Structure 1
Amino acid sequence: MSPAIPEAVKVWSQFFHPALMWVLFALTLYALYLGIKVRQVRAAAGDEKKELIKGKFNVKHFQIGSLVLALMVVGSIGGMVVTYINNGKLFVGSHLLAGLGMTGMIAVSASLSPFMQKGANWARYTHIFLNVVLVGLFAWQAVSGVQIVQRIISKM
């Protein structure tokens, strides 16, 4: 016998995933910016490099990237749980499938960190490629997610 979830919680819980994902999208763009700065540090020389190193962009990129990974996994699972609780099923469509693909992509991208730390360029280029695709998918997810939120609001 499972306890019933109050209706107000069920209704308002539907907005947790979209809000989290917009914050996550902003963090993802910030991680992209930091990644670009890391590349600038690698390409710089002399005094310019010394000055850029002070920004500790590599540490910040790793920390924000780790946070993005954690929030994406939790946010993806949370979105599916809330959808299931409110509808008794998941809606298998492009938004869900792209989101699951993005979650897998970010996990693979993060798993390349040990190789990148050892200087493997193939890992760097794979990491960059996966994350550029991820940002593109994330932008599309934002649009399709807003459409889903509009449908939820219209049924309230």
Structure 2
Amino acid sequence: MLESIKPWLNFIHPLIMWSLLALALYALYLGIQWRRTRLAEGDVKKELVKGKFNIRHHQIGSALLAFMVIGTVGGMAVTYINNGKLFVGPHLLVGLTMTALIASSAALVPFMQKGNETARLTHISLNVVLVGLFSWQAVTGMQILFRILEDF
């Protein structure tokens, strides 16, 4: 059975990762809106609070963390299943770095909830780097996928 689905496994990781890149961009938007809400005053703040950006940002971020870890491990598993080894190169190393960044970013949440501004700025910085690396990963991942398709 594994042999019959092996060729199709190569497409699962890119689909998940492109979906997660879109989700990361949405989480970034929600985070910006939540920050605007926190810093706003008066009627502007009252209007922004209605968007519940904090709750949505937290929920999307939690899903992003879980699926990014699953996608990273899944991508490595598919590579190993199809090739009997992992290819240690920039795509793998950056993917593992991204997984560490998102876990570190999520670990800052309890500190942010207690009002730690340094934790907030670190969280924002880590996630901006993460989105930048994610964009690069999308490009390099497609290059890898096109090389796989050439071998078909």
TM-score, normalising length: structure 1: 0.96
Aligned length: 152
Give, in angstroms, the shift of residue 7 of structure 1. Answer: 2.2
SS at match of 1:14: helix
Cα deviation, 1:29-60, whole Å, max 9, x if unaligned, reads 00000000011101211011011001100000
Cα deviation, 1:40-94, whole Å, max 9, x if unaligned, reads 1012110110110011000000000000000000000000000000000000000
Runs of 4 or more consecutive aligned structure 1 residues displaced over 2 Å after TM superposition: 5-8
Gaps of 5+ in 1: none
Gaps of 5+ in 2: none
1:99 is aligned to 95
Q: Does 1:83 align with 2:60?
A: no
Give, in angstroms, the shift of residue 6 of structure 1. Answer: 3.0
Percent of matched pairs sharing the same residue = 65
Q: Does 1:108 align with 2:97?
A: no
Cα deviation, 1:69-127, whole Å, max 9, x if unaligned, reads 00000000000000000000000000000000000000000000000000000100000
When you count helix as a share of all residues, which structure comes out higher?
2
RMSD over aligned Cα atoms: 0.7
TM-score, normalising length: structure 2: 0.98
